[in-house]
Amino acid sequence: MKRLLITGANGGLGSICRQSLTHLAETIRLSSRSDMGEAAEHEEIVRCDLADRAAVEALVDGCDGIVHMGGQATESNWEVIRNANIDGMFNLYDAARKHGRPRIVYASSNHAIGFYRQNERIDAAATTRPDSLYGVSKVFGEALASMYHDKFGIETACVRIGSCFPQPKNHRMLSSWMSYDDFVRLIECIFRVPVLGCPIIYGVSANDSAWWDNDAVSYLGWHPRDNAETHRARLDAEFGKPDPDSPDSRYHGGQFTAAPIQES
């Protein structure tokens, strides 16, 4: 690619993308609402609020691909969710429609299906069951991506990210964890495959106890290599056995299923 846009480049996964995706394009355009420091020789830095439609149109112009990590990353009140993940998502896709229809990696979330129980293994055809306003916003984003694909041909990988950290932080993540290396390999596959379409992909490593089935996207050639099971003994020693009645032990979405609606 000539130019790859990474939104949310100051966030946890956005920062990983900034460090690890430089080989995918001649120029990496980085976007965030907050300061991103000095630009490297191969970088362009653009401060942008996704709720600002005109600013987003200018941001997307000239980009061959987009890794959309921007937006509200946790549960919040409706105003915050709406501005970042509803209006911001629409602004991004309509800008993409107007400026070359670049391929997009959309950071969806496991919270789009968070109310499935942990004894249920699901695939991309499972009905959405969001566990929060945040989860609802991710379902909206998947639906928007689907419509822009069917109507305008914009290809999107909707990646329902599980728990992407250097290592699992609790027992729930023995099932939901995705390593940074597997995450980067997934993005490489998404931009390398000749025809992407608009698939739902579960962002999860090759965990022994994973709840999610990615057989439908085998055509990507993505083969996760890491396994959270190697961390089980450490988690047992650190936390003991988990409470079987806790939301973290009952639902895919864990504690999000029990979170209250936040007032503005």
Active centre residues (catalytic) = 134
**Quick one: which of 167, 187, 182 has its CA closest to 223?**
182
CB burial string 89-101: b at 16+ within 10 A, e below: bbbbbbbbeeeee
Cα 207 from Cα 176, distance rounded (Å): 8
| Bridge partner residues of 3 (DSSP) | 27
242 CB burial (10 A radius; 0-12, 13-18, 19+): middle
**Calpha distance 71→151 (Å, rounded):** 24
Q: Alpha helices, DSSP H only, in the chain?
A: 12-20, 53-60, 78-81, 88-98, 133-152, 173-176, 180-192, 232-239, 247-250
CA separation (Å) from 127 to 2, 18, 198, 199? 37, 33, 16, 14
Instruction: Say whether 185 sits in a helix, a strand or coil.
Output: helix
Task: List residues bridging with 43 in a β-sheet.
Answer: 28
